Amino acid sequence: MLRLAGARLLDDSDYPAVRAALAADPVGSCMVSARVEVAGLDPWRLGGELWGADGRTARSGALHGLCFSGPNMIPLRGNAAALRSFADRALRRQRTCSSLVGPSEQVLGLWDELVAEWGPAREVRHDQPLMALDRLPAVPFDREVRPVRPDELDRYLPAAIAMFVEEVGVDPRAGDGGASYRARVAELIAGGRAFARFENGEVVFKAEIGALSETVGQIQGVWVHPDRRGHGLGSAGTAAVSTRLIRGMGRVASLYVNSFNSPALAAYRKIGFRQVGRYATVLF
């Protein structure tokens, strides 16, 4: 008989079980895998905590629930009992995460447990197709899209801010004048994970590789200057970043998109992306 214990903080002794759980869904777990591969399970190095819910049988044990709690809360697996145990642990402290994000069944199930205390949310995005591409794009890529240089931060940052406001609905400069967001963008640029097409010194296309695990790279922040939309820059630019991931880094390219964004969905499918799962996001 399967028994689920309460959620517990995982430690290094759980590392093999965690890696096995993450490997079962490499695209869906990319955001957490990227952290664990670099930092292990130590909360200080990981930038958050990894919680588990154990399933015990008479002969073996396994993690039947897994949730990352940090700047974002990312429940990756777990039935209703596991999600309740994650909610119980989360409610023992003040909320510090800016969103819940991850596989839709887990995110929406966890939100059902948290909404009475943490709600209302600013926005709930119930249906976000998770897509992946494991072969070179089916459309030509834009050869003018390239990694952004560190000395181009001030030219790149306005486009990054515009994308964030358009996508998330808040200004990332709120609170600290933009210092933390600027530092995050500078970190992506320094790591060679921010890409852009510049015209006359201005960004007309941008995208970033937000999470990079050993097998998957997650593309985020795809944006085209409003004056240049409808001319194929988004498709060709995304194809360029995908090519860098697949051919240059040996990873599967992935991304997720709102289901109501029909033009983006059509563009990604034209590139060759196929849906491999479904995400949901709760924004605070």
Q: What is the pLDDT of residue 54?
A: 78
pLDDT of residue 175: 85
Residue among 102, 77, 72 at smallest CA distance from 90: 72
Tell me what pLDDT residue 3 has: 43
Within 13 Å, how many C-alpha atoms sit on residue 138's CB side? 11
Tokens describing residue 44: 């200080």
Assess contact for 92 and 103: CB atoms under 8 A.
no
Domain covering 146-275 assigned CATH 3.40.50.300 in the classification: no
Q: What is the mean pLDDT of residues 272-282?
A: 98
pLDDT exceeds 90 at position 55: no
Instruction: Read off the pLDDT of residues 228-239 as tens digits, 9 standing for 90 and up.
Output: 999 999 999 999
pTM above 0.85, yes or no: yes
Domain ranges of the chain: 3-120, 146-275
Contact predicate 148/194, CB 8 Å: yes
Domains 3-120 and 146-275 agree in fold: yes
* Residues 35, 40, 46, 49, CA torsion sign: positive
Give the residue carrying structure tokens 């998109």.
257
CATH class of 3-120: alpha beta
Interacting residues of 129 by C-beta distance below 8 A, sequence separation 6+: 256, 257, 259, 265, 275, 277, 278, 279
pLDDT band at 58 (very low <50, low <70, confident <90, very high): very low
- Residue corresponding to tokens 């399970």: 41
Q: Give tens-digit pLDDT for 162-213.
A: 999 999 889 999 989 999 999 999 999 999 999 999 999 999 999 999 999 9
Q: How much is the average pLDDT of 51-74?
A: 80
What's the CA gap between 33 and 13, in Å, rounded?
17
pLDDT reported for residue 62: 78
Structure tokens of 185?
A: 């963008």
Distance between CA atoms of residues 63 and 65, nearest Å:
5
**Which pLDDT score is estimated for 59?**
39
The burial of 244, by beta-carbon neighbours within 10 Å (0-12 exposed, 13-18 middle, 19 or more buried), is given as buried
